[in-house]
């Protein structure tokens, strides 16, 4: 499973990219709104840092707005993927942009049927929001499992991005289910790196290493 970062914060993206495992970035209007600066410039900067798909979402939600903004975003850099919300106008926009060779990520996906329709409309990526499904008392990982089963069964080319990841176990479970990608917030990536036994082990090796050197 590839790891994307779910962030529009340049420092977070730069720091995590330096660790060597980062395969892409997802942003959304809420993440962008937390940062200062021009949206398109921010997206360009992210593309300069990370060598992989950078997902950016149009701010309008009508078909005309999504295709106009989608085309403008796609023209910023070859790595841009246009995020399109799952709705009727969104499906039309996904299929229109796909015909123009622009890659899209169907976002705000909460069911297997939505995933199937978005994939068939031509989305390159499908983003089920695992955490938000859990938030309303349903099982986000179960929905992810259904989506993987269905898309695998028909060899649909779209890649699935487990999104709305809230904690490290979401990442482990998404990987076990076979999600192609998980997009993970900065805090959760940091928690994935840490283990108390690793810290203890490093401290002991350092101590014993100093003894070996007679220090
Ligand atoms: O990028 C979309 C998604 O990951 C949002 O997550 O935490 O706002 O539900 P969240």
Atom of ligand 1 nearest to the CA of 183: 4
- Assess whether the C-beta atom of 163 lies below 6 angstroms from ligand 1: yes
* pLDDT tens-digit readout, 147-187: 999 999 999 999 999 999 999 999 999 999 999 999 999 99
Of 83, 92, 194, 211, the active-site residue reads 83
Closest CA to 85 of 108, 65, 62, 104: 108
Atom of ligand 1 nearest to the CA of 28: 1
| Percent of the chain topping pLDDT 70 | 100
CA 26 to ligand 1 center in whole angstroms: 9
- Strand-pair category, 22-26 with 2-6: parallel
CA 34 to ligand 1 center in whole angstroms: 13
Atom of ligand 1 nearest to the CA of 55: 1
Residue 78 banded pLDDT, cuts 50, 70, 90: very high
CA 160 to ligand 1 center in whole angstroms: 15
Cβ–Cβ under 8 Å, residues 94 and 106: yes
Predicted local confidence at residue 68, as pLDDT:
98
Predicted local confidence at residue 122, as pLDDT:
98
Annotated catalytic residue 83: yes
- Assess whether the C-beta atom of 120 lies below 6 angstroms from ligand 1: no
Residue 197 banded pLDDT, cuts 50, 70, 90: very high
With residues binned 3-state (H G I as helix, E B as strand, rest as coil), the percentages for the chain, rounded to 5, are: 55, 20, 30
pTM of the entire predicted model? 0.96
CA 163 to ligand 1 center in whole angstroms: 6
Closest CA to 127 of 155, 96, 92, 151: 151
* pLDDT tens-digit readout, 89-129: 999 999 999 999 999 999 999 999 999 999 999 999 999 99
Beta bridge partners of 160: 126
Give the separation between CA 97 and CA 92, rounded to whole angstroms.
Answer: 9
Beta bridge partners of 2: 181
């Amino acid at each position: 499973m590839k790891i994307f970062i779910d962030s529009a914060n340049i420092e977070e993206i730069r720091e995590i990219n330096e660790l060597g495992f980062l395969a892409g970035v997802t942003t959304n209007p809420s993440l962008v709104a937390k940062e200062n600066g021009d949206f398109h410039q921010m997206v360009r900067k992210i593309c300069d840092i990370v060598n992989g798909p950078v997902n950016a979402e149009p701010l309008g939600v009508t078909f005309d707005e999504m295709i106009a903004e989608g085309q403008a975003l796609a023209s910023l850099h070859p790595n841009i993927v246009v995020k399109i919300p799952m709705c009727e106008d969104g499906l039309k926009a996904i299929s229109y942009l796909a015909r123009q060779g622009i890659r899209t990520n169907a976002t705000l996906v909460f069911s297997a049927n939505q995933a199937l329709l978005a994939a068939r409309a031509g989305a390159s990526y499908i983003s089920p929001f695992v955490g938000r499904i859990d938030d309303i008392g349903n099982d986000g990982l179960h929905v992810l499992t259904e989506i993987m089963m269905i898309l695998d069964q028909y060899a649909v080319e779209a890649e699935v991005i487990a999104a709305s990841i809230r904690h490290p176990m979401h990442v482990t479970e998404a990987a076990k289910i076979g999600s192609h990608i998980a997009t993970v917030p900065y805090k959760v990536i940091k928690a994935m790196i840490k283990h108390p036994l690793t810290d203890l082990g490093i401290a002991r090796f350092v101590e014993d290493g100093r003894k070996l050197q007679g220090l």
